[in-house]
Amino acid sequence: MKNLWLIITRYNAFFLFIVFLGLALYLVVQNNTFQRASAVNSSNHIVGTVYARVNAWKSYLHLAEENVLLAEENAALREELQRFIAPDSVIQGVVSDSARDVQYRYIVAKVTNNSIHQTNNYITLDKGRKHGVEKGMGVISSNGVVGIVLNVSDHFSTVQSLLHSETRISAELEDSHAFGSLMWGNNYDAQMAILRDIPNHVKVRKGELVYTSGYSLFPPGILIGKVTETGLSGGDSFLDIRIELSTQFHNLQQVYVVHDLFAAEKAMLESQNDNDG
């Protein structure tokens, strides 16, 4: 208190100036219509700016939570979309046996670890066995295919990335619907892959989109990328096509684990083919 009194005593002229200045401004504003309106407008502008800044910071602090909510909403919309989509289009994502049933469920997961510069790259997710994730499930993002679930614990799972020397995805060309096997080019370029086993007679154009065929772990019609080079020789009867991947592996944050509800039934039926043979 003593120090405060000393400061007031030492700078009393300054404080008196501030008091009289404030009183003068108050009298001017109160007794003049124009100045009063100008003061109100100025104060509204200042208060509005302050509120806008505060709201921007609040939005930023809640951004992660909003992203999770949006991802969950997108997963629900993907499932709901299956009820209205015809199964005969390459860009449409379901084959279902009734108007009410859906084949695919989507589990929202967050990427907690990721590599893109190795020969064999892996991704770690924050969802595991307790969340319904199982080994062998496909993983996609909002932009395209990500990889295949490799190992699962109660709370986490690891994914064999599409950027892995042993990952193979059944892929289909947009125009001809010819399908082949897509694999990473293994050239340490996280955006390029090779589509193999496309017959020589198939006409392929640059810029043509490539989707999942539905013959593997993924729903049909999930975007994989687009054709950038068509003149690669893959053998006597087949073409190799260079694909620019649509998934941005360097900044993956939210993904969807694909649960095929009919996978076990399909695998059991197909296993009978080997027994019959």
Q: Render pLDDT for 202-216 as a digit per residue (tens, 0 to 9).
A: 899 999 999 999 888
If pLDDT is split at 50, 70 and 90, which confidence band does 95 have? very low
Phi and psi torsions of 24, nearest 5°: -65, -45
Instruction: Write the CATH number for 213.
Output: 2.40.10.350
User: Quick check: is 201 in a domain?
Assistant: yes
If pLDDT is split at 50, 70 and 90, which confidence band does 258 have? very high
pLDDT at residue 251 above 50?
yes
pLDDT at residue 82 above 50?
yes
Rounded CA separation 212/40 (Å): 61
Q: Report pLDDT digits (tens) over 107-131.
A: 989 999 999 988 899 999 999 999 9
User: Quick check: is 49 in a domain?
Assistant: yes
User: Quick check: is 145 in a domain?
Assistant: no
In the three-class reduction of DSSP (H, G, I as helix; E, B as strand; rest coil), residue 211 is classed as strand
- Choose one of 37, 60, 83: the last residue of a domain: 60
User: Quick check: is 197 in a domain?
Assistant: yes
User: Quick check: is 211 in a domain?
Assistant: yes
User: Quick check: is 157 in a domain?
Assistant: no
* Dihedral class, residue 136 (left if φ above 0, else alpha if ψ from -120 to 50, else beta): left
Q: Report pLDDT digits (tens) over 150-201.
A: 999 999 999 999 999 999 999 999 999 999 999 997 677 889 999 998 888 8
User: Quick check: is 12 in a domain?
Assistant: yes
User: Quick check: is 47 in a domain?
Assistant: yes
Phi and psi torsions of 34, nearest 5°: -65, -50
Query: Per-residue pLDDT averaged across 52-74, rounded?
Result: 59
| Total structural domains within the chain | 2
Given a contact cutoff of 8 angstroms between Cβ atoms, the answer to whether 193 and 243 are in contact is: yes
Range of the domain at 235: 169-248
